[in-house]
Amino acid sequence: MHNIDTMKRFFAWSVKCHCRSVQRLKLIYNVLATMNKVHRVWNSLKSGFPKTTTVSYRVMLHALDRLNDIDGLKRCFEEWESSYSSYDIRLANVAISAYLKNDMIVEAESVLDEAIKRSEGPFFKAWDMFMMFFLKQHRVDSALKYMEAALGHPKSESVDKVLKYFEEEKNVDGAEELCKMLKKVNRLDSKAYDSLLRTYIAAGKPTPDMRMRIEADGIEVNSEFENLLETVCPNELGSPLVSLTKQIVFSSFIQCGC
């Protein structure tokens, strides 16, 4: 009974303060997720308030997610969807994350589709979750589709993970496609090119036009970058053989007095 009373007080507090503080919200669902009578308390709280707030639903969804109660989470989210006064994309993100963790792709996509219909987002966090999910499933085309949707708001760490994935998989086509997307939003930098070069090297493929591309995109080339570049796109004018030939020709030119 002590746990029940404690949970009621936490929920009542969340309704009163609207949980403007992220730390407060985390504290609430951390406490909630450690108790084994979540549903009983939830039903009791709903009957004790004239209207269940979006904040309370959000707390409950986080708790159910932590408990991995996917059926309870699904019911709770659908209940909120049928009664909300203002759509909150953060609740949809909790549901999407939980569904994807349980490989429930159809349910996750359904939530995103409805969120796009009912709100103005932002959706980049959801797109990022789908992108990483499909990447782990080795479904590159689907991952890139969501990456393209997130253009303009891609998380740097997510871009890095995708580039690293292509490098490890020796997937030159995938890396090139991602670089094209990054170029569209002026996010194609030396770091992306570095990974692209490493992908070509891992795949054992040359790319003769790479120097021109890098120059056209205004990428600064340092010594480490040059070493990578030399592997897939040799600079003929700077190769040892050409340099030696030039020295011999120059010496002959001097000796003959030309």
Residues 200 and 152 in one domain: yes
Residue where a domain stops, chosen among 121, 154, 188: 121
Task: State the pLDDT at residue 136.
Answer: 94
Cα-Cα-Cα-Cα torsion 45, 47, 52, 56, nearest 10 degrees, comes to: 10
> What one-character-per-residue DSSP string does 159-186 give?
HHHHHHHHHHHT-HHHHHHHHHHHHHTT
What is the pLDDT confidence band of residue 41, given thresholds at 50, 70 and 90? confident
pLDDT digits (tens, 9 = 90+) for 91-125: 999 999 999 999 999 999 999 999 999 999 899 99
Q: Once rounded to an integer, what is the mean pLDDT over residues 175-200? A: 94
Residues 34 and 117 in one domain: yes
Residues 117 and 144 in one domain: no
Residues 109 and 158 in one domain: no
Half-sphere exposure of 236 (CA within 13 A, CB side): 2
Cα dihedral across residues 118, 151, 142, 138: positive or negative: negative
At residue 247, does pLDDT exceed 50?
no
Residues 173 and 209 in one domain: yes
Q: Rounded to an integer, what distance in angstroms lies between the CA atom of residue 30 and that of residue 239?
A: 62
What φ, ψ does residue 88 adopt, rounded to 5°?
A: -115, 110
Task: Classify residue 252: in a domain, yes or no.
Answer: no
Per the structure, the complete domain to which residue 95 belongs is given by: 1-121
At residue 164, does pLDDT exceed 80?
yes
Task: Classify residue 206: in a domain, yes or no.
Answer: yes
Task: State the pLDDT at residue 27.
Answer: 53
Residues 89 and 185 in one domain: no
Q: Where do we find the tokens 């490493």? A: 198
For the chain, how many structural domains are there in total?
Answer: 2
Cβ atoms of 167 and 175 within 8 Å: the answer is yes
Q: Once rounded to an integer, what is the mean pLDDT over residues 209-238? A: 88
Q: Rounded to an integer, what distance in angstroms lies between the CA atom of residue 250 and that of residue 81?
A: 80
At residue 11, does pLDDT exceed 80?
no
**Percent of the chain predicted with pLDDT > 90:** 57
Strands of 90-204, DSSP E: none
Q: Once rounded to an integer, what is the mean pLDDT over residues 39-56? A: 78
Task: Classify residue 130: in a domain, yes or no.
Answer: no
Task: Classify residue 255: in a domain, yes or no.
Answer: no
Nearest to 66 by CA among 25, 105, 111: 25
Task: State the pLDDT at residue 15.
Answer: 52
What is the pLDDT confidence band of residue 9, given thresholds at 50, 70 and 90? low
Residues 98 and 190 in one domain: no
Task: Classify residue 197: in a domain, yes or no.
Answer: yes
Task: Classify residue 129: in a domain, yes or no.
Answer: no
The number of beta carbons lying within 10 Å of the beta carbon of residue 211 is 17
Residues 94 and 177 in one domain: no
Residues 106 and 217 in one domain: no
Task: Classify residue 127: in a domain, yes or no.
Answer: no
Residues 106 and 211 in one domain: no
Q: Rounded to an integer, what distance in angstroms lies between the CA atom of residue 199 and that of residue 222?
A: 18
Residues 143 and 106 in one domain: no
What is the pLDDT confidence band of residue 75, given thresholds at 50, 70 and 90? very high
- CATH number of the domain within which 88 lies: 1.25.40
Task: Classify residue 248: in a domain, yes or no.
Answer: no
Residues 143 and 52 in one domain: no
Cβ atoms of 200 and 172 within 8 Å: the answer is yes
Q: Where do we find the tokens 């997720």? A: 33
Task: State the pLDDT at residue 156.
Answer: 82
